[in-house]
C-alpha cells in the first residue's frame, strides 16, 4: 500500500538517530583535530624527496635528472641542476638538485613523478595539514621542506619502502660486485703483465712484444651508472 | 493555584494591557493603535526568528544523527570554551551571512532582484498575524476572513519566488522559479481543499473560532480536536503533505534541488539577501505548521482536559516544535521526487483524496444526530481507506528487483 515504504524508511532513520546516541560504533566520523583515524597505507597527498643521511641536504637521493619535471602533467616541479657533483649512496659521482620546488597548489597528486623516477628518490607523502595563509609562497614547497628521511617513508608506506629498499640494495650489490670484478681483473692483468715481464727477462735479450696474449678477464664493458 | 496558572497563561495579554494603560496617559490618542500593533508584533518577531535559528541547528544535528554523524557540536559562546553542544552555531552562521559580500549579477534586474526577498518575507510574516498563539492571543482576529487572509498571503509568495528567479537572469534560477510556480499552484488546491473540511464543520473562517470549535470535551477528558475524526485524520495528513510542498520541504524541494539546479530560484543571492530567503522559507513552514495545528490539532488546546493547567501558548509552541521535528525526520528519510511524480501525485492522488474527504466530512456533519458513533467512524474510514488504496496503487514502485540477464 502507498505509504508503507515511507513508514519503513522512517523507522530506519529513527533507528539510526537513536542508535547513534547509545552505540558509538555506528558513528562513521571522528572529531577531527582531537581524534584521528589511523592513516591508511595507500594514502597519498603530495610528493616528498627521500634522503638517507643525517643531513637531509647532503643525502638526497635525487640526482636532478629532471625526468619528473618533464613528465609532470600539470608542470608543478621546478628543478635547477647543481654545477658540481657529489658522491651518491653507491659512491658514484652525481649531480644534485640546487633547487627543487613543488607547487602543491598545482600538483594533482597523480604519482607519475614517483613512477618515472629511476633513483627511488621521489615518493608520495601522506601529510595533509598543509593549509597556509600565504597562497602563493606558502604553497610552493622547497627541497628543505620536501626532504624526508627513509625512516619516515618506511613508517608511512612499509610495503612500498621495503620494495624500494630492495631495489637499492640490489643496485648497491651490483655496484659492489662490479667493483670487485674490476679489481680482480685489474689484479689479474697486473699479475699477467708482471709475469710477462719476468718471462721476458728470463728469456733473454729479445723482449716479448707488448701485445700480450694473456687472457683478458671477462668483464662487461663499464655500463653507464644505472 | 488555578489563578497562578491562569496568570501565567494570560501573562502576555496582561502585560500588553498594562503597557497600553500606562502609555495612554503619556502618548497622543492616535499613537495608541500603533503602539498596540507594535506590542503584538514584537513577540512574533522575537520568537519565530529565534525558533528559526534554533531549528537550523536542530535540523543539522538531527540530520547528522540520522546519517550516523555528530552534526555541528563546536560553536558555543564566543570567546569562551563553553560549547553548548553546538547551539551557538546559528550566531556564527548569522554573522557570516551578514558580513558576506552581497553579489548582484551584472545583467540582473537590480530593482526586482532587491525586492524579491522582501516580497517573500513580508507576506510570510503577515500570515502570523491571524494565527491564534494562545488563549486571547491572536494579533489580528479576522472573524469573517481569517483563513482566507492566510491563504491569500500564502499564495502571494509565488510572486516573489518568480521575481527572484526571473530577475537573476540565470537559467538555474529561472528553472527553479518555474518549478516552484508549477509546484505551488498544484499543491495550493489540495492544501485549501483539505483545510476546507474544517471550515465546513466549524462553520467559520475565523481561526480563533476554529480553535474554539474543538474545545468541546468528550468522555470527560478528551478535547474534540478535528484530528480525532476520520476526515480530520486523513485531512491532517493531506494538509501536511501539501504544506510540505508549499514550503518547499523534502521530498518536494524541487525548486531548490541542490543536486540538480544549484539552489533554484535563489542561486544568485548571497549574503544577507540569501539569509532573508532562508528565513522566509522557514517562517513559511512554521506558519503552515501553525495553521495545521489550528485547524486539526486543536490550536492552543491541550489534548486532555486535565493538562489544561499548562499555559495555552506552551501547547501551541510544543505542537509547533513537534511538527518541525516531524518535518526534519521526513527530510532525513525521503529522497526528492521527480517533476512528473510531483505533478502526478498532486493531481491524481491528493486532489481526488481531498474531494472525497470533503464528501466524507459532509456526511459526518449530516449524520451527527441520526447515526450512532461507531457506524459513523467505520463508514467514514471505509469511505476514505478504499479510495486511498485504489488511488495509491498507481504510485507504488512498479520495478521489482532488477535482473541482469546477460551478466548472470
Same domain, B220 and B93: no
β-bridge mates for residue A51, sequence order: A60, A149
The predicted pLDDT at position B304 comes to 83
With CB atoms and an 8 Å threshold, state whether A16 touches B65: yes
Q: Is residue A73 over pLDDT 90?
A: yes
Instruction: Report strand pairing: A47-51 vs A147-149.
Output: parallel
Same domain, B116 and B178: yes
- Collect all residues of chain B within an 8 Å Cβ-Cβ radius of residue A15: none
B407 in a structural domain: no
Q: Is residue A194 over pLDDT 70?
A: yes
B62 in reach of chain A (CB within 8 A): yes
Same domain, B88 and B217: no
B332 in reach of chain A (CB within 8 A): yes
The predicted pLDDT at position B94 comes to 87
Mutation target to probe the B interface, by most B beta carbons within 10 A, among A20, A23, A33 is A20
Q: What is the pTM of this model?
A: 0.78
Q: Do A214 and A185 meet the contact criterion of CB atoms below 8 Å apart?
A: no
With CB atoms and an 8 Å threshold, state whether B65 touches A5: no
β-bridge mates for residue B217, sequence order: B223
Same domain, B297 and B264: yes
Which of B62, B82, B99 terminates a domain? The answer is B99
The predicted pLDDT at position A88 comes to 78
- Collect all residues of chain A within an 8 Å Cβ-Cβ radius of residue B395: 2
Mutation target to probe the A interface, by most A beta carbons within 10 A, among B58, B68, B86, B353 is B68
The residue in chain B having the minimum alpha-carbon distance to the alpha carbon of residue A24 is B68
Same domain, B77 and B223: no
The predicted pLDDT at position B397 comes to 67
Q: Is residue A211 over pLDDT 80?
A: no
Same domain, B114 and B79: no
B7 in a structural domain: no
Q: Is residue A106 over pLDDT 50?
A: yes
With CB atoms and an 8 Å threshold, state whether A13 touches B66: yes
Same domain, B65 and B145: no
The predicted pLDDT at position B285 comes to 92
Which of B81, B99, B117 terminates a domain? The answer is B99
Which of B203, B40, B202 shows the shortest CA–CA distance to B131? B40
Cα B56 to Cα B33: distance, rounded to the nearest angstrom: 35
B368 in a structural domain: yes
Find the chain A residues whose C-beta atoms sit closer than 8 A to any C-beta of B.
1-3, 5-6, 9-10, 12-14, 16-17, 19-21, 26-29, 31
Q: Percentage of chain A with pLDDT > 70?
A: 90
Which whole-number Å values give the CA distances from B121 to B159, B230, B273, in the listed order?
12, 36, 11
Q: Is residue A213 over pLDDT 70?
A: no
B397 in reach of chain A (CB within 8 A): yes
Domains and CATH numbers, chain A: 47-157 (3.30.70.3270)
B130 in a structural domain: yes
Quick one: angle between helices B271-296 and B171-202, nearest 10?
A: 20
Same domain, B350 and B248: yes
Domain that includes residue B367, residue range: 103-399
Number of domains chain B contains: 2
Same domain, B227 and B324: yes
- B61/chain A closest Cα distance in angstroms: 10
The predicted pLDDT at position B216 comes to 82
B408 in a structural domain: no
When the pLDDT of each residue in chain A is averaged and rounded to a whole number, the result is 84
Q: Which three cell numbers stand for residue B307?
A: 493538562
The predicted pLDDT at position A210 comes to 52
Same domain, B176 and B70: no
Region A54-71 average pLDDT: 87
Which of A7, A9, A26, A36 shows the shortest CA–CA distance to B65? A26
B85 in reach of chain A (CB within 8 A): no
Residue A224, classed as helix, strand or coil, is coil
Which of B243, B241, B282 shows the shortest CA–CA distance to B388? B241
B8 in a structural domain: no
What lies within 8 Å, CB to CB, of A219 at 6+ separation is: A181, A182, A185
Cα B185 to Cα B253: distance, rounded to the nearest angstrom: 14
Q: Do B239 and B195 meet the contact criterion of CB atoms below 8 Å apart?
A: yes
Which whole-number Å values give the CA distances from B188 to B57, B123, B354, in the listed order?
29, 16, 12
The predicted pLDDT at position A74 comes to 92
Q: What digits encode the pLDDT tens for the residues A142-172? A: 988 888 888 888 888 888 889 888 988 898 8
Which of B99, B126, B148 terminates a domain? The answer is B99
Q: Do A62 and A119 meet the contact criterion of CB atoms below 8 Å apart?
A: yes
B406 in a structural domain: no
Per-residue pLDDT 10s for chain B (408 aa) are 678 877 877 888 888 888 888 888 788 888 888 888 888 888 889 999 999 999 999 999 999 999 988 888 888 777 777 777 888 888 888 888 889 888 888 888 889 999 999 999 999 999 998 989 888 888 888 888 889 999 998 888 888 888 988 998 888 899 889 988 889 889 999 999 999 999 998 888 888 888 888 888 877 778 888 888 888 899 999 999 999 998 888 888 888 877 888 888 888 888 889 999 889 999 999 999 999 999 998 888 888 878 778 888 888 999 999 999 999 999 999 888 888 888 888 998 999 999 999 999 998 888 888 878 888 888 888 888 888 888 888 777 677 777 888 877
The predicted pLDDT at position A200 comes to 84
The predicted pLDDT at position B214 comes to 86
Mutation target to probe the B interface, by most B beta carbons within 10 A, among A1, A17, A25 is A17
The predicted pLDDT at position A226 comes to 43
B12 in a structural domain: no
- A220/chain B closest Cα distance in angstroms: 56
Cα A43 to Cα A127: distance, rounded to the nearest angstrom: 10
With CB atoms and an 8 Å threshold, state whether A14 touches B389: no
ipTM above threshold 0.85: no
Same domain, B168 and B248: yes
The predicted pLDDT at position A31 comes to 85
Instruction: Report strand pairing: A140-141 vs A77-81.
Output: unpaired
Same domain, B125 and B269: yes
With CB atoms and an 8 Å threshold, state whether B68 touches A27: yes
Amino acid at each position: 500500500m502507498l505509504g508503507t515504504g515511507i513508514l519503513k524508511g522512517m523507522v530506519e532513520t529513527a533507528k539510526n538517530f537513536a542508535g547513534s546516541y547509545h552505540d558509538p560504533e555506528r558513528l562513521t566520523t571522528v572529531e577531527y583535530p582531537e581524534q584521528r583515524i589511523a592513516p591508511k597505507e595507500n594514502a597519498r597527498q603530495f610528493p616528498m624527496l627521500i634522503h638517507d643521511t643525517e643531513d637531509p641536504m647532503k643525502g638526497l637521493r635525487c640526482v636532478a635528472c629532471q625526468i619528473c619535471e618533464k613528465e609532470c602533467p600539470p608542470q608543478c616541479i621546478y628543478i635547477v641542476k647543481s654545477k658540481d657533483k657529489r658522491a651518491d649512496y653507491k659512491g658514484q659521482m652525481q649531480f644534485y638538485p640546487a633547487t627543487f620546488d613543488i607547487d602543491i597548489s598545482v600538483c594533482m597528486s597523480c604519482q607519475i613523478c614517483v613512477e618515472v623516477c629511476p633513483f627511488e628518490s621521489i615518493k608520495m607523502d601522506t601529510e595533509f595539514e598543509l593549509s597556509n595563509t600565504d597562497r602563493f609562497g606558502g604553497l610552493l614547497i622547497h627541497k628543505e621542506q620536501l626532504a624526508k628521511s627513509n625512516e619516515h617513508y618506511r613508517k608511512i608506506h612499509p610495503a612500498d619502502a621495503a620494495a624500494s629498499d630492495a631495489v637499492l640494495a640490489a643496485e648497491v650489490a651490483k655496484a659492489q660486485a662490479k667493483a670487485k670484478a674490476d679489481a680482480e681483473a685489474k689484479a689479474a692483468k697486473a699479475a699477467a703483465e708482471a709475469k710477462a715481464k719476468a718471462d721476458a727477462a728470463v728469456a733473454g735479450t729479445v723482449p716479448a712484444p707488448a701485445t700480450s696474449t694473456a687472457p683478458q678477464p671477462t668483464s662487461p664493458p663499464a655500463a653507464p651508472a644505472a | 493555584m488555578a489563578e497562578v496558572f491562569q496568570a501565567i497563561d494570560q501573562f502576555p495579554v496582561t502585560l500588553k494591557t498594562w503597557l497600553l494603560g500606562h502609555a495612554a496617559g503619556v502618548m497622543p490618542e492616535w499613537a495608541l493603535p500603533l503602539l498596540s500593533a507594535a506590542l503584538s508584533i514584537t513577540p512574533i518577531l522575537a520568537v519565530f526568528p529565534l525558533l528559526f535559528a534554533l531549528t537550523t541547528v536542530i535540523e543539522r544535528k538531527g540530520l547528522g544523527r540520522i546519517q550516523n554523524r555528530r552534526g555541528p557540536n563546536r560553536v558555543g559562546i564566543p570567546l569562551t570554551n563553553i560549547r553548548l553542544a553546538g547551539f551557538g552555531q546559528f550566531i556564527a552562521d548569522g554573522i557570516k551571512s551578514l558580513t558576506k559580500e552581497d553579489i548582484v549579477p551584472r545583467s540582473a534586474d537590480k530593482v526586482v532582484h532587491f525586492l524579491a526577498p522582501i516580497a517573500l518575507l513580508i507576506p510570510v510574516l503577515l500570515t502570523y498575524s491571524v494565527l491564534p498563539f494562545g488563549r486571547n492571543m491572536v494579533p489580528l482576529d479576522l472573524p469573517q476572513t481569517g483563513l482566507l487572509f492566510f491563504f491569500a498571503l500564502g499564495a502571494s509568495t509565488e510572486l516573489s519566488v518568480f521575481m527572484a528567479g526571473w530577475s537573476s537572469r540565470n537559467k538555474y534560477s529561472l528553472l527553479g522559479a518555474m518549478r516552484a510556480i508549477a509546484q505551488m499552484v498544484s499543491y495550493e488546491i489540495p492544501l485549501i481543499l483539505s483545510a476546507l473540511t474544517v471550515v465546513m464543520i466549524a462553520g467559520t473562517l475565523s481561526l480563533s473560532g476554529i480553535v474554539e470549535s474543538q474545545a468541546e470535551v468528550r468522555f470527560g477528558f478528551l478535547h474534540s480536536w478535528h484530528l480525532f475524526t476520520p476526515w480530520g485524520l486523513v485531512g491532517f495528513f493531506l494538509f501536511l503533505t501539501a504544506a510540505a510542498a508549499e514550503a518547499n520541504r523534502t521530498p518536494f524541494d524541487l525548486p531548490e534541488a541542490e543536486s540538480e539546479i544549484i539552489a533554484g530560484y535563489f542561486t544568485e543571492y548571497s549574503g544577507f539577501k540569501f539569509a532573508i530567503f532562508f528565513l522566509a522559507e522557514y517562517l513559511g513552514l512554521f506558519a503552515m505548521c501553525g495553521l495545521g495545528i489550528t485547524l486539526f490539532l486543536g490550536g492552543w488546546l491541550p489534548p486532555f482536559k486535565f493538562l489544561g493547567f499548562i499555559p495555552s501558548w506552551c501547547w501551541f509552541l510544543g505542537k509547533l516544535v513537534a511538527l518541525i521535528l516531524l518535518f526534519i525526520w521526513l527530510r532525513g528519510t525521503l529522497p526528492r521526487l521527480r517533476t512528473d511524480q510531483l505533478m502526478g501525485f498532486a493531481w491524481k492522488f491528493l486532489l481526488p483524496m481531498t474531494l472525497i474527504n470533503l464528501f466524507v466530512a459532509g456526511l459526518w456533519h449530516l449524520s451527527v444526530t441520526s447515526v450512532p458513533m461507531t457506524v459513523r467512524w467505520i463508514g467514514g474510514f471505509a469511505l476514505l481507506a478504499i479510495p486511498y488504496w485504489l488511488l495509491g496503487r498507481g504510485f507504488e514502485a512498479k520495478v521489482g528487483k532488477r535482473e541482469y540477464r546477460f551478466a548472470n
